[in-house]
Structure 1
Amino acid sequence: AQPPAASPTQHAGDAAQALALRHLEAAGLVLLAANQRSRTGEIDLIVRDDDTLVFVEVRSRQSARFGGAAASVGHDKQRRLWRTAQVFLQTRWRGPLPPCRFDVVAIDDGVLTWLRDVFRES
């Protein structure tokens, strides 16, 4: 059986994630994993920035109305990202724990904004 066809929303999300990854790689970050899922949630991109492990949430909106893409990463989403990062570190990471941070790549009407270290453990 073939997987179901991706919806227009999924295609848009994939395109936004690809754009975000190109931007981060151009800035020298290295992709370690994409679309890491666990029972607690999903992390879009996990990249290395020198010695720092970076968990990246990619958000895209057609317009900045209602606060825009970055504003859509509220407290509940942050908590899910934190828990999912913990699962990744406990189950997939090998070696000493590196410094970690959470970034958001927000794309509003095609304009990309990279927000570094946007939240801490909540």
Structure 2
Amino acid sequence: MYFKFVDAEVECVSFQYNDTENIFEMKDKENKVICEYYPLLNLDAEYNPRDFEYYLLRNDREDYSENSIYQVYASKERIGWIFPIQALMSRQHDYVKNKFFLRYAYVASCWLLENINCYNQKFS
């Protein structure tokens, strides 16, 4: 993770999830919290994101929504989920209280934050 705003001196280089408050804390090189991200979902941090693989898929259909969430099975065992990124920012889908979805939503949120790479973006 790395981001810096052109109109600010600070650089965010890491993050940490505070599971008691459901907050991602973005930190600078001195480990000082610079900003916070409050997920809409009540994420479950039981899974270690490094234990998972992820694949970005593209959906060009016009009829998909944040409720286009699917469990992936192999030999009757769930091996993952397919869901749109917008499902992470919505409470308007059928899996908002599903503990397994919330664990994968945590993993996906960590992956998205980890892969931020912005330099001198304008703060708005």
Same fold, TM-score > 0.5, yes or no:
no
TM-score (norm 2): 0.26
Of structures 1 and 2, the one scoring higher in RCO (CA 8 A, sep 6+) is 2
Between Structure 1 and Structure 2, the one with more helix by share is: 1
Between Structure 1 and Structure 2, the one with more strand by share is: 1
Larger radius of gyration: 2
TM-score (norm 1): 0.26
